[in-house]
């Protein structure tokens, strides 16, 4: 999705969402633990008494990008682009509690978790921690962090023996931090002296830089049904509503001295970001084969195309002066920066498919595993360093040890990301659409090679009373 004149953001289109690991390998729309607040509130119904769960994960993500932009040559140096690398540590998980208020009839619960996260830090591939940043992804993104944190109260009702329904309402906090470079004059590959400008003759000398953070909130809901009359056939289905990430905040635009009437410096800015988030449908099946062995399967279907398959789903960005006007004269800047900007997405629906198994070794010790396959949400023509998703396969291993009313657990998840070779991106797509223009300022994806790896470690604490 991404270059606009002075701002870009991450797609939040990752197939590796927190729902892929939250609550352990056996969690899903057909599993009765507190994580059901996020997966399927109806599955809370069988939980007796009071239950507390804290399942916290940390995903360690590393990316490598080798672009073929400009035939793989940096126009400012005449040398091949170096590989850009990004690293991010992404926290995720769930903390919550349930209470069966009316035995065998009504269960209430509340939980906090993060439905979507995104971003990356490409400064790891740069020399030093300050501009100029010269990697080829610079006009897409240098660093960003996007977090959504939901607090969801939920209720589950037993309609009849073995049949339960439930729902929840979510208040979702939206947070974004970004550092972005841009080329407002379209001078990439042209040294300043060639333009008759008296400024240091260094690559990207005329760039502007945006640093900003913003926050906001939105509401959502989820609902589901759970059938558990038979131990060998437990079925759960749920639906989580779409939503709109909405954040406003402040930052600054740093302008080179050549583009400023006061010799360069930072101009205060107001930043706004809105992006659509998808609805998610889930269908899971569990089977208690015997007293020790449980198996199951499931699917999470992320309906990205419904929210973000066209222009209406693009990321909308506003960037103004502190007075609410366009940045430019009379802000001691000789250029003007558009107040309304867009980062194209045009995403596909994506499915996350899984199979799981659990074995109760003895009264206290349990082992479980999950196998996963996740589709891409971002089509080839829209891939860039800041709008990146991977088809992937992976596994999760976990163990739990119960001591009376307390359960302790450890987990490890490994995703194998399929390397993406992009040769038909929108970089060369000249369809007259200003939001997908191959003209300056570029708002397109980038051909190249995209590779990555993800490792996740987790700990779990559960209590039942």
pLDDT for the residue numbered 13 = 41
Contact criterion met (CB below 8 Å) for 174 and 215: yes
Tens digit of each residue's pLDDT (9 = 90 or more) over 443-460:
456 778 888 888 888 898
Tens digit of each residue's pLDDT (9 = 90 or more) over 339-349:
887 777 778 89
Least confident of 77-86, 103-112, 221-230: 77-86
Mean pLDDT, to the nearest integer, of 210-231? 94
d(CA 265, CA 327): 13
**Distances in whole angstroms, Cα of residue 72 to Cα of each of 221, 348, 446:** 46, 28, 11
pLDDT for the residue numbered 189 = 58
Average pLDDT, the chain: 82
Contact criterion met (CB below 8 Å) for 210 and 180: yes
Helix (H) or strand (E) holding 109: strand 106-113
Mean pLDDT, to the nearest integer, of 396-400? 93
Burial class (CB in 10 A: 0-12, 13-18, 19+), 357: middle
pLDDT for the residue numbered 12 = 38
Tens digit of each residue's pLDDT (9 = 90 or more) over 422-437:
876 664 444 455 555 4
Q: Is the pLDDT score of 5 beyond 60? A: no
303, β-bridge pairs = 279
Domain boundaries, the chain: 18-464
Contact criterion met (CB below 8 Å) for 61 and 390: no
Tens digit of each residue's pLDDT (9 = 90 or more) over 265-291:
788 899 999 989 899 999 999 999 999
Query: What is the pLDDT confidence band of residue 227, given thresholds at 50, 70 and 90?
Result: very high
pLDDT for the residue numbered 164 = 97
pLDDT for the residue numbered 263 = 67
Contact criterion met (CB below 8 Å) for 192 and 199: yes
Query: What is the pLDDT confidence band of residue 174, given thresholds at 50, 70 and 90?
Result: very high
pLDDT for the residue numbered 188 = 62
pLDDT for the residue numbered 330 = 80
pLDDT for the residue numbered 439 = 47
Mean pLDDT, to the nearest integer, of 381-397? 83
pLDDT for the residue numbered 430 = 44
Contact criterion met (CB below 8 Å) for 119 and 80: no
pLDDT for the residue numbered 146 = 85
Share above pLDDT 90 across residues of the chain, in percent, rounded to a whole number:
38
- Greater confidence (393 vs 132) lies with 393
Least confident of 89-103, 106-120, 190-204, 393-407: 190-204
pLDDT for the residue numbered 450 = 87
- Got the DSSP string for 281-324? EEEEEEEE-SSSEEEEEEEEEEEHHHHHSSGGGSEEEEEEETTS
Mean pLDDT, to the nearest integer, of 314-329? 86
pLDDT for the residue numbered 315 = 82
Contact criterion met (CB below 8 Å) for 397 and 414: no
pLDDT for the residue numbered 111 = 96
Which residues, 6+ apart, have CB-to-CB distance to 170 below 8 Å?
115, 150, 151, 152, 219, 220, 221, 222
pLDDT for the residue numbered 195 = 65
**Looking at domain 18-464, what is its CATH homologous superfamily?**
Outer membrane protein transport protein (OMPP1/FadL/TodX) (2.40.160.60)
Query: What is the pLDDT confidence band of residue 1, given thresholds at 50, 70 and 90?
Result: very low
Share above pLDDT 70 across residues of the chain, in percent, rounded to a whole number:
81
Query: What is the pLDDT confidence band of residue 51, given thresholds at 50, 70 and 90?
Result: very high
- Greater confidence (212 vs 193) lies with 212
pLDDT for the residue numbered 21 = 62
Least confident of 80-84, 231-235, 284-288: 80-84
Tens digit of each residue's pLDDT (9 = 90 or more) over 123-169:
777 655 566 666 667 777 788 888 889 999 999 999 999 999 999 99
């Amino acid at each position: 999705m991404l270059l606009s004149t002075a701002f870009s953001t991450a797609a939040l289109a990752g197939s590796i969402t927190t729902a892929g690991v939250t609550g352990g390998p056996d969690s899903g729309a057909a599993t009765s633990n507190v994580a059901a607040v996020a997966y399927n509130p109806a599955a809370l119904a069988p939980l007796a008494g009071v239950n507390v769960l804290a399942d916290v994960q940390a995903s360690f993500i590393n990316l490598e990008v080798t672009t073929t932009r400009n035939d793989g040559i940096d126009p400012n140096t005449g040398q091949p682009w170096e590989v850009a690398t990004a690293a991010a540590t992404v926290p995720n998980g769930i903390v919550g509690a349930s209470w069966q208020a009316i035995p065998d009839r009504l269960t209430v619960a509340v939980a906090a978790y993060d439905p979507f996260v995104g971003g990356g830090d490409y400064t790891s591939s740069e020399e030093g921690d300050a501009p100029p940043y010269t990697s080829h992804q610079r006009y897409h993104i240098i660093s960003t962090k996007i977090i959504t944190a939901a607090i969801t109260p939920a209720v589950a009702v037993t309609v009849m023996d073995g049949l339960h329904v439930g729902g929840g309402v979510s208040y979702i906090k939206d947070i974004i931090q970004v550092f972005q470079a841009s080329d407002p004059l379209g001078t990439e590959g042209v040294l300043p002296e060639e333009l008759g400008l008296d400024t240091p003759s260094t690559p990207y000398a005329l760039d502007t830089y945006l640093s900003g953070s913003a926050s906001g909130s939105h509401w959502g809901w989820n609902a589901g049904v759970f059938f558990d009359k038979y131990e060998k056939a437990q079925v759960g289905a749920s639906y989580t509503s779409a939503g709109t990430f909405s954040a406003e905040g402040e930052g600054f635009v740093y302008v080179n001295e050549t583009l400023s009437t006061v010799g360069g410096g930072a101009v205060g800015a107001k930043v706004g970001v809105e992006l659509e988030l998808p609805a998610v449908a889930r269908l899971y099946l569990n089977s208690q084969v015997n007293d020790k062995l449980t198996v199951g399967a499931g699917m999470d279907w992320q309906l990205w195309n419904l929210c973000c398959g066209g222009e209406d789903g693009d990321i909308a960005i506003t960037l103004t002066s502190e007075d609410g006007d366009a940045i430019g004269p009379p802000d001691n800047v000789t250029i003007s920066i558009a107040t309304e900007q867009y980062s194209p997405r045009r995403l596909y629906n994506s499915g996350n498919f899984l199979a799981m198994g659990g074995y109760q070794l003895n009264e206290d010790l349990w082992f479980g595993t999950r196998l996963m396959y996740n589709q891409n949400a971002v089509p080839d023509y829209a891939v860039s360093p800041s709008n990146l998703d991977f088809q992937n396969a992976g596994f999760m291993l976990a163990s739990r040890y119960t001591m009376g009313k307390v359960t302790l657990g450890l987990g490890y998840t490994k995703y194998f990301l399929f390397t993406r070779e992009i040769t038909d991106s929108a970089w060369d797509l000249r369809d007259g659409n200003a939001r997908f223009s191959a003209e300056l300022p570029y708002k397109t994806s980038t051909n190249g090679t995209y590779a990555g790896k993800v490792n996740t470690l987790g700990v779990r604490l559960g209590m039942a009373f």
